Structure 1
Amino acid sequence: MPRDADGGTHPVTTCKGAKMSEQDSAAGHLHRLVLFSDAVFAIAITLLAIEIHPPHHWDGISDLFAKMGVKLGAYAISFAVVGIYWISHRRIFQRLRAANGVLDVLNFIVLGLVALLPLGTELLWEQHAGQALPVYVGLVALIGVAIAVLWSYAAFIGDLTHPTPRPEAIYIALRVALLPGMMCALSFISLVYPWGWAVMAGIIAGLHLLNKRIARTAQIKTA
């Protein structure tokens, strides 16, 4: 330790070093958690494709796609779901500055639900796809709620986020919790009723305008 004028020692340097070490450890914890999560999302997408098998008997390209249309449609929707959730997950974690054990547990719950999406997708193209649809949409909605719980803990309880205005943090939680399940349900509705696409387009446009307004408000407050 450095000595003062009287020959004594003081722990300033040691305390600073310990604080920097804790910050580095927290950053490393968060980084490892992101890498692990990315791997789970990648595996989930891979399993979606692995579960697709060609029919035993098919005659020409048109017959092939006619027999595999349901599987390919379910795959496309699930691929989009996993991709959107991966982007959402990355954006949430970009707002975090640290991680702890509770965040680990909440993130494992999110990843566990994401890992069930290949099973939900397989249910969609079974004979009882109509009965499986509520199960699939419910799973997608549950993932959104789980991510919202993770974000809410990090923002309001765990103090793990970078400085974020409280209204913006609440908006993020509500958007993540409600939007995915709603959009997934509308995607399936749109396959039967074309007006579903118009509703989704309206929601996306409204969210875009709301995001710009929130960003503008945040810039004014920080100016």
Structure 2
Amino acid sequence: MSALSDAQTEAHADAHPGHQLERLAFFSDAVFAIAITLLVIEIHPPHVHDPADTGAYLRALAGLWPEMFGFLISFYSIGNFWVGHHRAFSMAAHWSERLLLPNLVMLLAIVAMPFVTGFMSINGSARVPTVLYSGWLLFAALVNLWLQRRVLTPPVLSDQVAPERIGTIRRRGQAVTLGAACALIACSLAPWPGTGMAALLTIPLWRMLLDARARTAGRRRR
């Protein structure tokens, strides 16, 4: 009876692939939205005691720069992962239960970002928080590659997608992974742990290098 029920469920999913994919995408979008909103909770408005002049308020706001820095980095990172998730699933045409596990692990990585961001922001000059942040970002990037691999290959991938488009999405995911790896190495080895956060700026550079490599390989094949 159980086997029959499972078979009926799979048949129903195969008959309505769009419904299953939409449910997964909507649920994922909600988790991304909640995680990216929770980032701002780590930024606590400063309390300035009276009597206070303009300078006191400005100094209080300036004291929030570690929290603001962490907020901006994580907002960009989560936003980047969401964009990649959206682009990848826009090319999916067939449902597969093999999407569930990597997608859930991806969401696990995302929902923990507010915590590791707050931990780093409060203790930004210490090595352990910055290493934890960079390491978690690398973990999220690797899971993102895992998920993209499932989405951008048969049987999930639409037959109408051009190989060049698939390559572009994969290279973007690879650039984030390489940038996070650079940040983790820099945080672990550099005298000032904050250097690792600057290393995240290499993500656009990695993307340009990977795109240039792909163009060169394409010309050679011709």
For normalisation by structure 1, the TM-score amounts to 0.70
d(CA) in 1 for partners of 2:144, 2:106: 6
Structure 2 counterpart of 1:121, which letter? T
The CA deviation at 1:199 is: 4.9
The CA deviation at 1:21 is: 7.2
**Alignment correspondent of 2:138:** 141
The CA deviation at 1:183 is: 2.7
**Alignment correspondent of 1:66:** 62
Q: How many residues align?
A: 195
d(CA) in 1 for partners of 2:114, 2:79: 13
Larger relative contact order, structure 1 or 2 (CA cutoff 8 Å, min sep 6): 2
**Alignment correspondent of 1:33:** 24
Superposed CA offset, 1:73-117 (max 9, x none): 000100000110100111111121122222122211111110000
d(CA) in 1 for partners of 2:201, 2:115: 30
Percent of pairs identical after alignment?
24
Do residues 110 (structure 1) and 106 (structure 2) align?
yes
d(CA) in 2 for partners of 1:114, 1:206: 27
d(CA) in 2 for partners of 1:151, 1:32: 18
Larger Rg: 1
d(CA) in 2 for partners of 1:162, 1:62: 54
The CA deviation at 1:24 is: 5.2
Do residues 47 (structure 1) and 38 (structure 2) align?
yes
The CA deviation at 1:171 is: 7.3
The CA deviation at 1:64 is: 1.9
d(CA) in 2 for partners of 1:111, 1:197: 21
For normalisation by structure 2, the TM-score amounts to 0.70
Q: CA RMSD in A?
A: 3.7
Residues 66/186 of structure 1: CA separation in 2 closer, same or farther (3 Å cut): farther
Contact preservation (8 Å) 1:26, 1:99: yes
Residues 57/181 of structure 1: CA separation in 2 closer, same or farther (3 Å cut): farther
Structure 2 counterpart of 1:150, which letter? L
Which residue of 64, 80, 96 corresponds with 1:84? 80
Q: SS of 1:96's equivalent? A: coil
Contact preservation (8 Å) 1:99, 1:160: yes
**Alignment correspondent of 1:95:** 91
Q: SS of 1:53's equivalent? A: coil
Contact preservation (8 Å) 2:99, 2:151: yes
Q: SS of 1:125's equivalent? A: helix
Farther-moved stretch of structure 1 (50-59 vs 23-32): 50-59
The CA deviation at 1:127 is: 2.9
